[in-house]
Structure 1
Protein backbone atom coordinates (compact mmCIF):
# COMPACT_ATOMS: atom_id res chain seq x y z
CA UNK A 1 0.00 0.00 0.00
CA UNK A 2 1.61 3.30 -1.07
CA UNK A 3 1.60 6.46 0.98
CA UNK A 4 0.95 9.86 -0.52
CA UNK A 5 3.12 12.73 0.66
CA UNK A 6 1.69 16.12 1.59
CA UNK A 7 0.35 17.97 -1.40
CA UNK A 8 0.59 14.93 -3.69
CA UNK A 9 -2.84 13.44 -3.18
CA UNK A 10 -4.27 12.22 -6.47
CA UNK A 11 -7.74 13.73 -5.89
CA UNK A 12 -6.46 17.32 -5.76
CA UNK A 13 -4.83 19.52 -8.35
CA UNK A 14 -1.95 21.68 -7.14
CA UNK A 15 -2.89 25.30 -6.39
CA UNK A 16 -1.47 27.50 -9.20
CA UNK A 17 -1.10 30.55 -6.88
CA UNK A 18 -0.33 29.27 -3.39
CA UNK A 19 -1.06 31.72 -0.59
CA UNK A 20 1.71 31.84 2.08
CA UNK A 21 -0.95 32.69 4.69
CA UNK A 22 -2.75 29.42 3.97
CA UNK A 23 0.20 27.15 3.13
CA UNK A 24 2.54 26.61 6.10
CA UNK A 25 5.26 25.32 3.74
CA UNK A 26 5.54 28.80 2.20
CA UNK A 27 5.51 30.80 5.45
CA UNK A 28 9.16 31.04 6.66
CA UNK A 29 8.17 31.34 10.33
CA UNK A 30 5.93 28.29 10.27
CA UNK A 31 8.33 26.34 8.02
CA UNK A 32 11.02 26.39 10.74
CA UNK A 33 8.38 25.28 13.27
CA UNK A 34 7.41 22.32 11.09
CA UNK A 35 11.00 21.22 10.49
CA UNK A 36 11.61 20.82 14.21
CA UNK A 37 8.86 18.24 14.69
CA UNK A 38 8.11 15.76 11.91
CA UNK A 39 4.51 15.70 10.73
CA UNK A 40 3.50 12.14 11.56
CA UNK A 41 0.24 10.46 10.58
CA UNK A 42 -1.56 7.36 11.80
CA UNK A 43 -0.42 4.29 9.90
CA UNK A 44 2.87 5.89 8.88
CA UNK A 45 6.07 3.84 9.15
CA UNK A 46 8.70 5.48 11.33
CA UNK A 47 12.03 4.70 12.96
CA UNK A 48 13.63 5.91 16.17
CA UNK A 49 15.87 8.90 15.48
CA UNK A 50 18.01 8.33 18.60
CA UNK A 51 18.95 5.60 21.03
CA UNK A 52 16.53 5.45 23.96
CA UNK A 53 17.06 4.16 27.45
CA UNK A 54 13.89 3.68 29.45
CA UNK A 55 14.80 3.75 33.11
CA UNK A 56 12.67 3.37 36.18
CA UNK A 57 10.39 0.65 37.37
CA UNK A 58 9.17 -1.76 34.72
CA UNK A 59 6.43 -4.13 35.90
CA UNK A 60 4.15 -6.72 34.33
CA UNK A 61 0.87 -5.42 32.93
CA UNK A 62 -1.06 -7.28 35.62
CA UNK A 63 0.95 -5.71 38.47
CA UNK A 64 -0.62 -3.20 40.82
CA UNK A 65 -0.22 0.50 40.03
CA UNK A 66 2.14 0.79 43.01
CA UNK A 67 4.55 -1.42 41.04
CA UNK A 68 6.17 -3.23 43.93
CA UNK A 69 7.45 -6.14 41.80
CA UNK A 70 9.97 -4.66 39.37
CA UNK A 71 11.02 -7.08 36.65
CA UNK A 72 13.53 -4.91 34.74
CA UNK A 73 15.68 -1.98 35.84
CA UNK A 74 16.07 -0.38 32.42
CA UNK A 75 15.39 -1.09 28.77
CA UNK A 76 17.35 0.16 25.75
CA UNK A 77 15.96 0.69 22.25
CA UNK A 78 18.39 1.32 19.40
CA UNK A 79 18.23 4.17 16.94
CA UNK A 80 16.68 2.98 13.69
CA UNK A 81 14.19 0.61 15.37
CA UNK A 82 11.15 0.71 13.06
CA UNK A 83 7.48 0.80 13.90
CA UNK A 84 4.06 2.13 12.93
CA UNK A 85 2.32 5.23 14.25
CA UNK A 86 -0.95 4.14 15.89
CA UNK A 87 -2.07 7.55 17.17
CA UNK A 88 -1.03 11.19 16.90
CA UNK A 89 -2.15 13.30 19.84
CA UNK A 90 -3.20 16.92 19.54
CA UNK A 91 -0.41 19.40 20.25
CA UNK A 92 -0.07 20.32 23.92
CA UNK A 93 1.56 23.37 25.40
CA UNK A 94 4.90 22.61 26.99
CA UNK A 95 5.14 22.84 30.74
CA UNK A 96 6.27 26.25 31.93
CA UNK A 97 9.44 26.53 33.98
CA UNK A 98 9.44 28.45 37.26
CA UNK A 99 11.13 31.38 35.48
CA UNK A 100 8.48 31.47 32.73
CA UNK A 101 5.66 31.42 35.29
CA UNK A 102 7.38 34.23 37.20
CA UNK A 103 7.76 36.28 33.99
CA UNK A 104 4.04 35.89 33.25
CA UNK A 105 3.13 36.87 36.82
CA UNK A 106 5.38 39.93 36.89
CA UNK A 107 4.36 41.07 33.41
CA UNK A 108 0.68 40.89 34.40
CA UNK A 109 1.49 42.86 37.57
CA UNK A 110 3.25 45.54 35.50
CA UNK A 111 0.45 45.69 32.93
CA UNK A 112 -2.30 45.94 35.55
CA UNK A 113 -0.69 48.09 38.24
CA UNK A 114 2.51 49.58 36.80
CA UNK A 115 0.91 52.96 36.19
CA UNK A 116 0.03 53.17 39.93
CA UNK A 117 3.45 52.15 41.26
CA UNK A 118 6.08 54.52 42.60
CA UNK A 119 8.81 55.07 39.98
CA UNK A 120 11.48 53.14 41.91
CA UNK A 121 9.20 50.10 42.35
CA UNK A 122 8.16 50.23 38.70
CA UNK A 123 11.83 50.39 37.64
CA UNK A 124 12.73 47.42 39.87
CA UNK A 125 9.83 45.40 38.44
CA UNK A 126 10.87 46.32 34.87
CA UNK A 127 14.41 45.07 35.61
CA UNK A 128 13.06 41.77 37.00
CA UNK A 129 10.89 41.31 33.90
CA UNK A 130 13.84 42.09 31.62
CA UNK A 131 16.03 39.52 33.40
CA UNK A 132 13.39 36.80 32.84
CA UNK A 133 12.59 37.73 29.24
CA UNK A 134 15.15 35.35 27.63
CA UNK A 135 13.43 32.40 29.36
CA UNK A 136 10.05 33.61 28.09
CA UNK A 137 11.33 34.00 24.52
CA UNK A 138 12.95 30.54 24.57
CA UNK A 139 9.70 29.02 25.87
CA UNK A 140 7.74 30.66 23.03
CA UNK A 141 10.16 29.42 20.37
CA UNK A 142 9.59 25.77 21.27
CA UNK A 143 5.88 25.80 20.50
CA UNK A 144 3.46 23.06 21.45
CA UNK A 145 4.62 19.45 21.79
CA UNK A 146 3.08 16.66 19.70
CA UNK A 147 3.05 13.16 21.19
CA UNK A 148 2.41 9.85 19.48
CA UNK A 149 1.75 6.18 20.16
CA UNK A 150 4.06 3.96 18.11
CA UNK A 151 4.01 0.16 17.99
CA UNK A 152 7.56 -0.94 17.25
CA UNK A 153 8.19 -3.99 15.08
CA UNK A 154 9.79 -5.76 18.06
CA UNK A 155 6.44 -5.59 19.89
CA UNK A 156 7.16 -2.69 22.22
CA UNK A 157 4.69 0.19 22.34
CA UNK A 158 5.83 3.73 23.08
CA UNK A 159 2.86 5.82 24.21
CA UNK A 160 2.91 9.57 24.82
CA UNK A 161 6.33 9.67 23.14
CA UNK A 162 7.52 13.00 21.74
CA UNK A 163 7.02 13.02 17.97
CA UNK A 164 10.50 14.43 17.43
CA UNK A 165 11.98 11.10 18.60
CA UNK A 166 10.87 9.58 15.27
CA UNK A 167 11.79 10.04 11.63
CA UNK A 168 9.87 8.75 8.62
CA UNK A 169 11.09 5.26 7.68
Structure 2
Protein backbone atom coordinates (compact mmCIF):
# COMPACT_ATOMS: atom_id res chain seq x y z
CA UNK A 1 0.00 0.00 0.00
CA UNK A 2 2.91 2.33 0.54
CA UNK A 3 4.03 2.06 -3.05
CA UNK A 4 1.06 3.92 -4.67
CA UNK A 5 1.30 6.69 -2.09
CA UNK A 6 5.02 7.16 -2.77
CA UNK A 7 4.46 7.14 -6.53
CA UNK A 8 1.69 9.71 -6.12
CA UNK A 9 3.90 11.86 -3.88
CA UNK A 10 6.79 11.61 -6.34
CA UNK A 11 4.53 12.54 -9.26
CA UNK A 12 3.11 15.46 -7.28
CA UNK A 13 6.64 16.61 -6.39
CA UNK A 14 7.71 16.47 -10.03
CA UNK A 15 4.61 18.39 -11.06
CA UNK A 16 5.37 21.12 -8.50
CA UNK A 17 8.97 21.33 -9.74
CA UNK A 18 7.75 21.56 -13.34
CA UNK A 19 5.28 24.34 -12.51
CA UNK A 20 7.83 26.28 -10.46
CA UNK A 21 10.43 25.88 -13.18
CA UNK A 22 8.12 26.95 -16.00
CA UNK A 23 7.09 30.08 -14.10
CA UNK A 24 10.71 31.12 -13.67
CA UNK A 25 11.10 31.16 -17.47
CA UNK A 26 7.94 33.20 -18.07
CA UNK A 27 8.49 36.71 -19.42
CA UNK A 28 8.15 39.20 -16.60
CA UNK A 29 5.91 42.16 -17.39
CA UNK A 30 5.44 45.41 -15.49
CA UNK A 31 2.44 45.43 -13.16
CA UNK A 32 0.74 48.28 -15.04
CA UNK A 33 0.29 46.12 -18.14
CA UNK A 34 -3.28 44.86 -18.33
CA UNK A 35 -5.70 44.20 -21.17
CA UNK A 36 -7.55 47.43 -20.35
CA UNK A 37 -4.33 49.47 -20.30
CA UNK A 38 -3.24 48.02 -23.65
CA UNK A 39 -6.66 48.69 -25.17
CA UNK A 40 -6.44 52.30 -23.99
CA UNK A 41 -2.96 52.69 -25.55
CA UNK A 42 -4.30 51.42 -28.88
CA UNK A 43 -7.44 53.60 -28.71
CA UNK A 44 -5.41 56.70 -27.79
CA UNK A 45 -3.05 56.13 -30.70
CA UNK A 46 -5.88 55.56 -33.17
CA UNK A 47 -7.94 58.49 -31.88
CA UNK A 48 -6.08 61.53 -30.56
CA UNK A 49 -2.62 60.36 -31.63
CA UNK A 50 -3.56 60.01 -35.28
CA UNK A 51 -5.54 63.28 -35.23
CA UNK A 52 -2.47 65.06 -33.90
CA UNK A 53 -0.22 63.35 -36.44
CA UNK A 54 -2.64 64.21 -39.26
CA UNK A 55 -2.69 67.86 -38.27
CA UNK A 56 1.10 68.02 -38.14
CA UNK A 57 1.70 66.17 -41.44
CA UNK A 58 -1.02 67.94 -43.42
CA UNK A 59 -0.97 71.44 -41.90
CA UNK A 60 2.24 72.15 -40.00
CA UNK A 61 5.00 70.09 -41.62
CA UNK A 62 7.81 72.50 -42.47
CA UNK A 63 11.43 71.73 -43.37
CA UNK A 64 12.61 74.88 -41.62
CA UNK A 65 11.45 73.62 -38.22
CA UNK A 66 13.41 70.47 -37.47
CA UNK A 67 12.22 70.55 -33.84
CA UNK A 68 8.71 69.61 -34.96
CA UNK A 69 10.12 66.80 -37.08
CA UNK A 70 12.22 65.59 -34.13
CA UNK A 71 9.19 65.69 -31.80
CA UNK A 72 7.10 63.74 -34.30
CA UNK A 73 9.81 61.09 -34.64
CA UNK A 74 9.95 60.79 -30.83
CA UNK A 75 6.16 60.57 -30.68
CA UNK A 76 6.14 57.70 -33.19
CA UNK A 77 9.02 55.86 -31.51
CA UNK A 78 7.40 56.19 -28.08
CA UNK A 79 4.02 54.95 -29.30
CA UNK A 80 5.68 52.07 -31.12
CA UNK A 81 7.51 51.15 -27.91
CA UNK A 82 4.25 51.22 -25.92
CA UNK A 83 2.37 49.22 -28.55
CA UNK A 84 5.17 46.65 -28.80
CA UNK A 85 5.27 46.27 -25.02
CA UNK A 86 1.51 45.72 -24.99
CA UNK A 87 1.69 43.31 -27.90
CA UNK A 88 4.35 41.25 -26.10
CA UNK A 89 2.22 41.25 -22.95
CA UNK A 90 -0.93 40.21 -24.82
CA UNK A 91 0.94 37.46 -26.66
CA UNK A 92 2.28 36.07 -23.37
CA UNK A 93 -0.94 36.34 -21.38
CA UNK A 94 -3.80 35.78 -23.80
CA UNK A 95 -2.21 34.83 -27.13
CA UNK A 96 -3.68 37.90 -28.85
CA UNK A 97 -2.25 41.01 -30.49
CA UNK A 98 -2.76 44.74 -30.00
CA UNK A 99 -4.28 44.91 -33.46
CA UNK A 100 -6.59 42.42 -35.17
CA UNK A 101 -4.01 39.70 -35.76
CA UNK A 102 -0.26 39.16 -36.10
CA UNK A 103 -0.16 40.26 -39.75
CA UNK A 104 -2.10 43.48 -39.12
CA UNK A 105 0.00 44.24 -36.05
CA UNK A 106 3.24 43.71 -37.96
CA UNK A 107 2.00 45.81 -40.90
CA UNK A 108 1.06 48.69 -38.59
CA UNK A 109 4.39 48.49 -36.75
CA UNK A 110 6.19 48.51 -40.11
CA UNK A 111 4.17 51.55 -41.24
CA UNK A 112 4.99 53.44 -38.03
CA UNK A 113 8.68 52.65 -38.52
CA UNK A 114 8.55 53.68 -42.18
CA UNK A 115 7.03 57.07 -41.34
CA UNK A 116 9.54 57.68 -38.52
CA UNK A 117 12.42 56.64 -40.81
CA UNK A 118 11.22 58.95 -43.60
CA UNK A 119 10.98 61.85 -41.16
CA UNK A 120 14.47 61.03 -39.87
CA UNK A 121 15.79 61.17 -43.44
CA UNK A 122 14.24 64.60 -43.87
CA UNK A 123 15.66 65.76 -40.55
CA UNK A 124 19.15 64.55 -41.45
CA UNK A 125 19.10 66.49 -44.72
CA UNK A 126 18.19 63.94 -47.38
CA UNK A 127 16.70 65.85 -50.28
CA UNK A 128 13.56 64.81 -52.10
CA UNK A 129 13.62 66.44 -55.51
CA UNK A 130 10.33 67.06 -57.28
CA UNK A 131 9.90 67.50 -61.05
CA UNK A 132 10.95 71.15 -60.81
CA UNK A 133 14.15 70.24 -58.93
CA UNK A 134 12.99 71.60 -55.58
CA UNK A 135 13.50 69.77 -52.31
CA UNK A 136 9.95 68.67 -51.50
CA UNK A 137 9.66 65.75 -49.06
CA UNK A 138 6.01 66.49 -48.19
CA UNK A 139 4.51 64.06 -50.75
CA UNK A 140 6.72 61.24 -49.47
CA UNK A 141 5.88 61.96 -45.85
CA UNK A 142 2.17 62.23 -46.65
CA UNK A 143 2.26 58.91 -48.51
CA UNK A 144 3.84 57.17 -45.49
CA UNK A 145 1.27 58.79 -43.23
CA UNK A 146 -1.60 57.72 -45.52
CA UNK A 147 -0.33 54.12 -45.52
CA UNK A 148 -0.36 54.10 -41.72
CA UNK A 149 -3.75 55.82 -41.54
CA UNK A 150 -5.31 53.27 -43.93
CA UNK A 151 -4.04 50.33 -41.87
CA UNK A 152 -5.33 51.88 -38.64
CA UNK A 153 -8.65 52.73 -40.27
CA UNK A 154 -9.12 49.08 -41.26
CA UNK A 155 -8.36 48.02 -37.70
CA UNK A 156 -10.74 50.63 -36.30
CA UNK A 157 -13.51 49.49 -38.66
CA UNK A 158 -13.03 45.87 -37.52
CA UNK A 159 -13.21 46.96 -33.89
CA UNK A 160 -16.43 48.88 -34.46
CA UNK A 161 -17.97 45.93 -36.28
CA UNK A 162 -16.99 43.55 -33.45
CA UNK A 163 -18.59 45.86 -30.88
CA UNK A 164 -21.73 46.14 -32.97
CA UNK A 165 -22.24 42.37 -33.04
CA UNK A 166 -21.35 41.63 -29.41
The TM-score bracket by the shorter chain reads under 0.3
Q: What TM-score do you get using the length of structure 2 for normalisation?
A: 0.26
More helix as a share of residues: 2
Q: What TM-score do you get using the length of structure 1 for normalisation?
A: 0.25
More strand as a share of residues: 1
